[in-house]
Structure 1
Amino acid sequence: MTLKTSSAISKPYSGPAGGWGSAKSVAAIILRERVPLKGPRLLSTQNRPEGYMCVSCAWAKPSQPHPLEFCENGAKATAWEITSRRADPEFFAGKPLSELELWPDHDLEEQGRLTQPLRWDAASDKYVPVAWSEAFEEIGRELRALDPHQVDLYTSGRASLEASYMYQLFARMYGSNNLPDSSNMCHESSSVALPESIGASVGTAILSDFENTDCIFYIAQNVGTSSPRLLHDLQDAVNRGVKIITFNLLRERGLERFVNPQSPVQMLTGKETQISSEYYQVNNGGDIAALFGVCKALIEADDALKASGNGRVAGEDGKPKDPNNAAMVAFAASMASADKKHVLDHDFIKQHTAGFEEFAQAARDHKWSELERVSGLSRDQMMQAAATYAKSDAVMMVYGMGLTQHLMGVQNVHMVCNLALLRGNIGKPGANICAVRGHSNVQGQRTVGITEKPGLAPLDKLSELHGFEPPRWTGRTTVETCEAIMNGQSRAFIGLGGNFLKAVPDTAAMEEGWRELRLSVQIATKLNRSHVLHGEIAYLLPCLGRIELDQQATGPQAVSIESSIAHFHGSRGKARPASTALLSEPAIIAGIAKATLGETKVPWDAWVGNYAEIRNAIERTYPETFKDFNERMFKPGGFARPLPARERKWVTKSGKANFITPAKLFPEFSTSGRADVLHLATLRSNDQFNTTIYGYSDRFRGVEGTRRIIFMNGEDILRLGFADGEIVDVTTAIDDNVARTVTGLKIVPYNIPKGCCGAYYPETNPLFPLAHHDPKSKTPSYKLLPVRLSRSHLTPVG
């Protein structure tokens, strides 16, 4: 079943993002998944007003959709879910789990949709069919026998608002706040930093901001792979003359050039749109230094302009503040406001912010030489970015997990906010912060109560509405759940979607602890590694996918989703279910809840029969956020979640937006400065979404047939004594008395800064220590890890 890949590398790809490469890739997966008629028919309804929301990324559904409102990766996600392949009882009858443990993740999922509820049989080491009623009864019995502190209830990013609300309610009625979720692993740094800076837990941007902006700072997010539909908004902005200033580790094709596959003219002529007007390749972990450099240029230019306006080009002591002060005055004048008196928005800063002076002094104090060394950018580059920023009236800040999955992820996000606040670029048309989320509805599940933090859930309201006393103790994050599994404190794990074992750090230790669980329950559509490794008692419960028709007692049901821009959208499944034995996620949650809790005030059966009743409960729990929920859920373009920061109302302790000064520019490693240490960032290919691997192609980076790759700067390859195409082992360069190595990666020379390297997620997750995370958000630092390379004697496989 594995793919030998020792020589499976192609030439670099010269084409743009989108274009014929995208069209061919979509056609290929539709044929491979054997849905040549059903696939195109369903895709024509994807992200449309009465259609289904994409199960891939969380980008918004516009009020006026394009003729085809899907991208390459969205089409792959749809084909992957509606595949004609089936992982049915006949398949499992011939496959002990000890054999399936050896299969690559791609091959496990490629078996197709699960069709029957399954229970692990210890005697045969196989999954065998079980009745739904029997499954619920035993799961309930096992949960009742455990202390709720010992049970973790995980949520992946694609569960609907309805299912998520039911899941958190069940968890709390059971007595647990252990509600780790995929947000903990991706944008938790945003969820911690944004409230501190601007009093909002999510980004403030909306789609119309892309129509009103005149400059976009695009930071650490690969649009061509992670959210290609956003390219339409970027292309439209560029065509209006908007400048896009990109800061990214790699030169990603989607941030360079784009051909819209929906434009006959562009497809026939090959006419490309240049996306980034300025592209700055930042060292891995150098984002704070780069943004500090831009801020320093703005602040010192403002200082110089104020001094010159007072007839001075020097400091209070009469000495030049900068040997190039006259040049700085000229630079400042070139980008100052019409009155030529300021570069910063002092009225906004005075009225709306706190902490400016401390931050401004820190920016002044940082030496350019240090900012250049850490960021990898020159002073001229940072000043050029500052000049473009200052000449723009409305600037958007768009960023992704390249900032949040860091040891200093929270401080990275603080710096994005600091840059925006300097010129009042929050809370006005065309000027806001856009935190591009990953999985569809990963943001929404937190909105309806999936959180380990009791202070973020309306516990009193839940108690009043549903007649129980919720637990008030702080639950476990994803990292803390991993710790509890490793040390035996967690005895049961229920997964509402996802591939938890593959997504988390410290893979080897996690898999060892996972096998010691008393109970593992997985609600899923397809087989993955988190299912073939299991606890003492293990259930695999297949659910309907979002694309499928969900027929319940009162008729076909719709669900709701929150997008990256904090708008709620309705979604109607259209496809025939993969099996008549499938239950919906709400039905499965209700079945477990009833078997575990017995009689309660919650009308679980009525909710399953009519999802509108769940939405009524959500509205009663969150009346301001979900006012008239059922009436508005299919409003074209969705309806907005209230965010006071959009109106320049700051729900912070200071009552203002806060400049928050990072304590340092770069994290400290014991191996810092070692010539043989490189800083690794994990990457995704255009043939995957999160842990789901659609195939072994990374078209944009010129890699075919393998994912066992390490991308390196050519000078580093020579300096370290390696060669193009050589097979190496990669070892974690953190001394915590645990050896972590990923073997058999092929070196590929690539345009990446010296001292940095890149390799694929999740294949290199075993290198990341669980303790290697942001201390406040506990988000794993998948984008920054010191590693060493050594020669390997292995041949890589896919």
Structure 2
Amino acid sequence: MTDNATKDTDDLPHSPGPAGGWGSMKGIARIYAEASASPGALDSLRRLNKPKGVMCVSCAWPKPENYSAFEFCENGAKATLWELTSDRCTPAFFAESSHTVTALRDWSDHELEKSGRLTHPMKYDAASDRYVAIGWDDAFAQIGATLRDLPREDVVFYASGHAGLEASYLYALLARAYGNNNLPQSSNMCHETTSVGLKKVIGSPVGTVTFADLDETDCYFFFGQNPGTNSPRFLHNLKDLKDRGGKIVTFNPVIEQGLVSFVDPQDPLAMMTGKETIISDQYHQVQSGGDVAAILGLCKVVVEVDDRARAAGWDAIIDHAFIAEHTTGFDEFVACCRATAWADIEQASGLTEAALRDAAMVYIQAEKVIGVYGMGFTQHAHGALNIAMLVNLLLLRGNIGRPGTGCCPVRGHSNVQGQRTVGVAEKAHLVPLDRLKALFDFDPPTKDGMHVVDAVQGLIDRKVRGIISLGGNLVRAVPDQQRMEEGWAAQDLVVMVSTKLNRSHLYPGKAAYILPCLGRAEVDAQASGHQAVTSEDSFSMISGSVGHRPPASEHLKSELAIVAGIAKATLAPNPKLKWDEWTGDYSRVRDLIEATYPDDFRDFNRRMFQPGGFWRVNDAARRVWNTDSGKAVITTPSRLSAHGFADKPGRYRLLTMRSNDQFNTTVYGYSDRFRGIEGTRDVVLMNPADIAEAGLADGDKVKLVSDYDGDNVERVLGGLTLIAYNLPRGTVAGYYPECNVLVPITHHDETSKTPASKSVPVRVEAL
């Protein structure tokens, strides 16, 4: 099943046991205890992803119209229980003698979050090196006064993917009314490659599949996506496909258990007997950055088989009628397929010709194929080329724009896609500025704002002087962490809207505030009653969410109320900016979203609780291509690798990964059972042949050292244990966010600036 598995690596610790099953149940129970979650949190799990319930705060997997009794997964349960902890981080916590901000820097990410839910608005007091309580009105007034004094272009409005569409829309409005488009968002770090790369070739910045397509497809081709940890509810759809005889082919440097086997926790017989569903029919361990060559190999086989079929007078393999009507660039690409030597494809991909031929035959024999990918595909210096190549493969047989087919990027945060949809975007042309001007009677700025990469570079260069962070843990989440910490602390103003303590709070600027917000599962009571919020999933479905748990503290405000409070204290009076009215009734904000984006949000308030959500229509899914040519673009690759640097002796390609006990920068615990790693995150995984060649041994203490040619900055991560692991030669792996210190901020996708965290040049050295 695995192309790169050898006798030397078959017995190494990886993926012990299936995804799901009792392991999943034990993982949830352990985090329930670890989080000190209240019994009422279990009721929240019952309501997850159901009508009039709560959209999961973890990944952006869709809420199905026909839901199951338990419509949540292990990671979603962990995220919910972690947020609904009974632990509290009160002003008394910061008053303890050992809890100065400087001392807290020695705590782990896990320990910081374990301090519990933040309960009061806080301001940093430099004299005591502590956060102290402050009233909401005073906090807003002081923040507003500082923002008014700062140059408009020197302030950044960052958003994680947590806030709902309503708060996100007002947040973008605040930034533009303030005077800039500095609205970087967490998608800059993960799927901005999709937004830019996919838009270029099919005219859509998002995937084309709907939930119904999953029930009709015959085959999935997976690239760099790990459903077992990052979107476990997807496993049920994969099992359904296998039950009806479909095929799954996977390309990933790491063997991820969710793509190997699965025991359905909702199947009593499977739970009693341990009966596994084998997920991947073929699992190819492509080397990091080798997807371009691997997909070119697949396409080369498709072209060869089509040539032979047509020469023999048989039915064509390629959908030539579709190609002629709907695409450009076909002839040049086919010439490239024919001319590229198999030896070059094998060298760049790390896979054999025979393996790629086997995979291509599955593609050829399938009537309907969906291409799935995640950040293992997007986070490369040429990640956009990866996406273009996958689109090439799908287009060859018309696998976009008909039922059961399409391109399926899997988003990693609950509303990361939706925030972009309602205006949290640094590119001015993505937002209908003319409608904003008509609705609110001001002139929105037309100059593009800062991408996350620009913002981090601005912080390093001391050009960014203030940041508002709507959720997130930006200091920990971005590349060049050490330089980022220094630049973050040098700002005039740092404002963080948060639910828990994290590392970004520990590098306060000259003025720093923590503004605690409600969790999505908590009751949001405003003037007109209990409020609902909405979000957009990976499949462009919009759904409502209603909180039901008592707030963790009476002093919390909703994200929308916090945004409105900052806006009122900062902006000049404008009768069209009705912050109090919008805070009192979120349906008024949804009316504004509909007025600004009428095609996407028609009858928004009426449809928000439609079972399964309502679809924000995607033209490419209907074979309408909003590209420069009006057709889908078939791309001829200019290179065979996506990693963007030359190979040389002693240089390895580091890919960063998440553990089973983790969501983004939130670390729930130290059990990565799918990889057989327990009790630590300070590890580096390496092929045993590479270990021997380097003169090292399994279990050695090592450090990773940056081997980046783009600058002379020293980047080192030490104290790591070397683990012999089943990886392709030349590829090593370590955990995110710990390895961010090794990722240069200038090492990113050339078109989207998405950090290239899946192929970082490093050396491995003994301590």
**TM-score normalized by the length of structure 2:** 0.97
- 3-state SS, counterpart of residue 509 of structure 2: coil
Mapping of 1:609-688 within 5 angstroms?
609-667=584-642, 672-688=646-662
Q: 2:180 maps to what in 1?
A: 176
CA offset at residue 750 of structure 1? 1.0
2:66 maps to which residue?
64
User: In terms of mean alpha carbon deviation, does 727-736 or 74-83 score higher?
Assistant: 727-736
8 Å CA contact retained: 1:669, 1:734: no
**What is the identity, as a one-letter code, of the residue corresponding to 2:208?**
T
CA distance in 2, matches of 1:754, 1:12: 16
Tell me which residue corresponds to 2:370: 396
**Aligned mates of 2:669, 2:37 — CA distance in 1:** 17
**For 1:78-477, what aligned pairs fall within 5 Å after superposition?**
78-94=80-96, 95-309=99-313, 340-477=314-451
Cα distance 1:155–1:119, how it changes in 2: closer, same or farther (>3 A)? same
Map of 1:332 onto structure 2: none
Deviation at 1:667, TM superposition (A): 5.0
Structure 1 distance, partners of 2:191, 2:14, is 32
Q: Is the alpha carbon distance of 1:35 and 1:460 closer, same or farther for their aligned partners in structure 2, counting shifts above 3 Å?
A: same
User: Structure 1 668/607 Cα, relative in aligned 2: closer, same or farther at 3 Å?
Assistant: closer
**What is the distance in 2 between the residues matched to 1:466 and 1:175?**
14
Q: How far apart are 1:669 and its partner, in Å?
A: 6.0
Deviation at 1:662, TM superposition (A): 2.1
C-alpha change, 1:544 and 1:511, in structure 2 (3 Å) is same
Who is 2:748 aligned against? 773
Letter in 2 for 1:48: K
Q: CA deviation at 1:250?
A: 1.0
For residues 724 and 599 of structure 1, the distance between their equivalents in structure 2, rounded to whole angstroms, comes to 65
**Residues 698-731 of structure 1 deviation map (CA, whole Å, 9 limit, x = unaligned):** 0110111100011111111111111111110100
Which residue pairs with 1:334 in the alignment? none
Cα displacement string for residues 177-209 of structure 1 (whole angstroms, at most 9, x for unaligned residues): 000110000000000011111111100001111
1:554 corresponds to which residue? 528
Aligned to 1:746: 721
CA-to-partner distance for each residue in 1:144-166, whole Å, 9 max, x for gaps? 11111000000001110001000
CA contact (8 A) 1:187 1:779 kept: yes
Q: Which residue type is aligned with residue 105 of structure 2?
A: E
- 2:209, 2:407 within 8 Å by CA — same for their partners in 1? yes
> 1:673 & 1:351 partners in 2: Cα distance?
41
Q: Match of 1:512?
A: 486
Q: What is the letter of the counterpart of residue 660 of structure 2?
A: N
C-alpha displacement of 1:770: 0.7
Matched letter for residue 708 of structure 1? D
Deviations 1:123-155 (A, max 9, x none): 111100001000100111111111110000000
- Coordinate RMSD, CA, aligned: 1.1
CA distance in 2, matches of 1:40, 1:749: 39
Secondary structure class of the residue paired with 1:153: strand
- Once residues 645 and 506 of structure 1 are traced to their aligned partners in structure 2, the CA distance between those partners, rounded to angstroms, is 37
- 1:49-101 per-position Cα deviation (integer Å, ceiling 9, x unaligned): 11100000000000011110011110000011000001100001122111111
CA distance in 2, matches of 1:58, 1:12: 27
In the alignment of these two chains, the number of paired residues is 752
Find the residue that maps to 2:655 and give its secondary structure.
Answer: strand
2:677 is aligned to 703
Q: Given the alignment of the two structures, is residue 29 of structure 1 paired with residue 31 of structure 2, yes or no?
A: yes
Per-residue deviation, 1:675: 2.3
Post-superposition Cα deviations, 1:21-55, rounded to whole Å, max 9, x if no partner, equal 10011011112222251221110001111110000
Query: Is the CA contact (8 Å cut-off) linking 2:38 and 2:85 kept in structure 1?
Result: no
- Determine the C-alpha separation between the residues in 2 that align with 1:507 and 1:28: 31
Partner of 2:475: 501
Change (3 A) 1:60 1:597: same
SS for the counterpart of 1:490 is coil
Measure, in 2, the Cα distance between the counterparts of 1:669 and 1:631: 48
Instruction: Give the match's secondary structure for 2:448.
Output: coil
Instruction: Give the Cα–Cα distance (whole angstroms) in 1 for the partners of residues 339 and 32 of structure 2.
Output: 56
Cα distance, 1:663 vs. partner?
1.3
SS in 2 for 1:493: strand
Kindly provide the amino acid, as one letter, of the partner of residue 767 in structure 1: L
> Where does structure 2 lack aligned partners over 5 or more consecutive residues?
1-11
The CA deviation string for residues 378-431 of structure 1, in whole angstroms up to 9 with x for no partner, is 111111111111111111011111110110111111111110100000010001
1:567 aligns with 2:545: no
Aligned-residue offset at 1:528: 0.3
Q: Structure 1: which amino acid aligns with 2:288?
A: N
Structure 1 runs not aligned, ≥5 long: 1-9, 310-339, 793-798
Give the SS at the match of 1:764: helix
Distance 2:761 2:150 in 1: 40
TM-score (norm 1): 0.93
Q: CA deviation at 1:751?
A: 1.0
Cα pair 1:417 1:659 within 8 Å, conserved: yes
Is contact 2:292–2:642 with CA below 8 Å preserved after alignment? no
Mapped pair 1:713 → 2:717: no
Helix, strand or coil for the counterpart of 2:718? strand
Secondary structure of the residue aligned to 2:738 is: coil
Residues of 2 paired with 1:440 and 1:645: CA distance?
23
1:352 deviates by 0.6
1: CA distance, partners of 2:153 / 2:376? 33
Q: Distance in 2 between matches of 1:734 and 1:26?
A: 40
Counterpart code for 1:302: D
Give the counterpart letter for 2:201 in structure 1: S
Separation in 2 of the partners of 1:541 and 1:171?
A: 18
Q: Secondary structure at the match of 2:325?
A: helix
Q: Does the CA contact (< 8 Å) of 2:653 and 2:761 recur in 1? A: yes
How far has the Cα of 1:356 moved from its partner? 0.6
Partners of 2:189 and 2:152 in 1: CA distance: 23
Q: Secondary structure at the match of 2:333?
A: helix
Equivalent in the alignment of 1:755: 730
Matched position secondary structure for 1:495: strand
2:3 aligns with: none
1:569 and 1:199 map into 2 onto residues whose CA distance is 24
Q: Hey, what's the Cα distance between the residues in 2 that align with 1:757 and 1:597?
A: 49
CA distance in 1: counterparts of 2:358 and 2:691, whole angstroms: 31
User: What is the CA deviation profile of residues 249-304 of structure 1, one whole-angstrom value per residue up to 9, with x for unaligned ones?
Assistant: 11110000000111111100111000111111101100000000000111122123
Give % identity: 52
User: Distance between the aligned counterparts of 1:36 and 1:773, measured in 2?
Assistant: 42
Please state whether the residue corresponding to 1:541 is helix, strand or coil: strand
